């Protein structure tokens, strides 16, 4: 049986941040905690969100780190409880949205956060008591604004996933004007995150034809516009399409991801300074080549169809040309040439492999990776 669920209310258009106040009212949020980070505040984007909330009581937590942590979640919950907020508005990238989701759990559920992690069997423990959330993304990458999951580094150092339909934002306001001027490397890294979501979920073996169609369209949009958005931060059409690609990647990855994310989650937990989207870009070529050996990939021409979506018709099924195209795109975007250029060394590999084997994305890859398989993928990505 294939169960298919879609999703939440989405508005995508320049200026839709203006809907923030009425959307809070629709969700029953009388006083939101706005979760953001210092960079969003400094860029003036927080001020635009607060202007949209003019006249409505609210509080602000701007301490989101680049990789959300359980300590930051506790700090946000303290502000939420002190200010007697009854819901959350996340204004920022995936880190702010994920931190808000985790705060929605922690404010209403007892025990340490790891209790509710997917690999700890915690998904069923997340109840409808979670606080309502509205998401306003300021980057085009994670798609967390339309996803049921969050990724947080818990107190024991693991980077864990939390998944429940109760965590789905009540509304997603995708305003490309809020992404104008995003620095080129951040545009590139978050954009490759969206492309990774579209590609990896299309390779995942679960049966979900709507997700496959959404993923292919999102990939085509992302591939066609990521260089434009990176090159010209004021290109509103490119920003709109990258926001759509990001949203579509997350709509699609309800069917699962795979080894790219198993490795990225694990390495990001080992070294939280590393950017998740950049790591995905580094791992994609090696994982594409590894997945070429999966029966579902071969029988359904999955790699050839991905290649066609980015304008490479006639590619073979070994993934060689597709992997080369990904590496070439990374280079054109100015991303690192590999993990070594990011400061990753081989002495980290065993810890990364341990985490990848335990990650919730490990078993949804089309081909189950062994310890040695992961080691080869790391070497190839170095």
pLDDT of residue 266: 95
341 alpha-carbon distance from chain centroid: 23
Matching residue, tokens 């992997």: 323
pLDDT of residue 66: 87
Average pLDDT over residues 274-283: 96
Asked if residue 3 has pLDDT above 80, the reply is no
162-171 residue pLDDT tens: 999 999 999 9
Confidence band of 84 (pLDDT split at 50, 70, 90): very high
Asked if residue 172 has pLDDT above 90, the reply is yes
Confidence band of 302 (pLDDT split at 50, 70, 90): very high
Asked if residue 204 has pLDDT above 90, the reply is yes
Tell me the pTM.
Answer: 0.92
Average pLDDT over residues 276-299: 96
pLDDT of residue 241: 97
Confidence band of 316 (pLDDT split at 50, 70, 90): confident
Asked if residue 146 has pLDDT above 50, the reply is yes
320-357 residue pLDDT tens: 999 999 999 999 999 999 999 999 999 999 999 999 99
Q: What is the 3-state secondary structure (H, E, C) of 205-243?
A: CCCCHHHHHHHHHHHHHHHHHHHHHHHCCCCHHHHHHHH
Range in 2-6, 211-215, 264-268 with the lowest mean pLDDT:
2-6
Say if residues 68 and 36 touch (Cβ distance below 8 Å). Answer: no
22-39 residue pLDDT tens: 999 999 999 999 999 999
Asked if residue 4 has pLDDT above 60, the reply is no
Give the length of the chain: 382
Position with higher pLDDT, 3 vs 231? 231
Say if residues 209 and 157 touch (Cβ distance below 8 Å). Answer: no
Asked if residue 1 has pLDDT above 50, the reply is no
Q: Residue 172 — φ and ψ, nearest 5°? A: -125, 120
* Percentage of residues of the chain with pLDDT beyond 90: 92
Confidence band of 138 (pLDDT split at 50, 70, 90): very high
Q: What is the DSSP letter of 11?
A: E
Average pLDDT over residues 266-294: 95
Please write down the long-range contacts of 278-281, taking CB distance under 8 Å and 24 or more positions apart. 278/189, 278/192, 278/335, 278/336, 278/342, 279/339, 279/342, 280/192, 280/193, 280/196, 281/189, 281/192, 281/193, 281/195, 281/196, 281/326, 281/330, 281/335
pLDDT of residue 315: 84
pLDDT of residue 318: 87
92-110 residue pLDDT tens: 999 999 999 999 999 999 9
């Amino acid at each position: 049986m294939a169960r298919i669920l879609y999703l939440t209310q989405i508005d995508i258009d320049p200026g839709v941040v203006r809907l923030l106040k009425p959307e809070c009212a629709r969700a029953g949020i009388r006083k939101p905690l706005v979760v953001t980070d210092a960079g969003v505040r400094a860029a003036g984007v927080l001020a635009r969100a607060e202007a949209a909330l003019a006249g409505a009581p609210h509080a602000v937590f701007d301490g989101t780190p680049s990789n959300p942590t359980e300590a930051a979640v506790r700090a946000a919950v303290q502000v939420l409880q002190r200010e007697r907020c009854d819901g959350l508005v996340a204004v920022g990238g995936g880190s702010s949205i994920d931190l808000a989701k985790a705060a929605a759990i922690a404010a209403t559920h007892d025990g340490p956060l790891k209790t509710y992690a997917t690999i700890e069997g915690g998904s069923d423990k997340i109840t409808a008591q979670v606080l309502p959330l509205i998401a306003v993304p300021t980057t085009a990458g994670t798609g967390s604004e339309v996803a049921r999951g969050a990724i947080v580094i818990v107190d024991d150092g693991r980077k864990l996933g939390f998944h429940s339909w109760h965590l789905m934002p009540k509304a997603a306001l995708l305003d490309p004007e809020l992404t104008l001027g995003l620095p080129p490397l951040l545009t590139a890294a978050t954009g490759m995150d969206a492309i990774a979501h579209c590609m990896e979920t299309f390779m995942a073996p679960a049966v979900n034809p709507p997700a496959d169609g959404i993923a292919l369209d999102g990939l085509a949009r992302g591939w066609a516009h990521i260089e434009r958005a990176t090159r010209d931060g004021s290109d509103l059409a490119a920003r709109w399409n990258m926001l759509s690609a990001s949203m579509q990647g997350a709509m699609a990855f309800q069917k699962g991801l795979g080894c790219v994310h198993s490795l990225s989650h694990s390495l990001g937990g080992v070294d939280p300074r590393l950017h998740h989207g950049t790591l995905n870009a580094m791992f994609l070529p090696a994982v594409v080549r590894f997945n070429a050996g999966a029966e579902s990939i071969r029988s359904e021409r999955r790699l050839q169809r991905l290649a066609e979506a980015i304008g490479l018709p006639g590619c073979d099924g070994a993934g060689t040309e597709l992997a080369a195209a990904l590496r070439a795109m990374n280079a054109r975007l100015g991303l690192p040439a590999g993990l070594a250029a990011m400061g990753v060394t081989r002495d980290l590999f065993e810890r990364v492999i341990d985490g990848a084997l335990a990650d919730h994305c490990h078993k949804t890859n089309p081909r189950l990776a062994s310890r040695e398989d992961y080691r080869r993928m790391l070497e190839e990505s170095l």
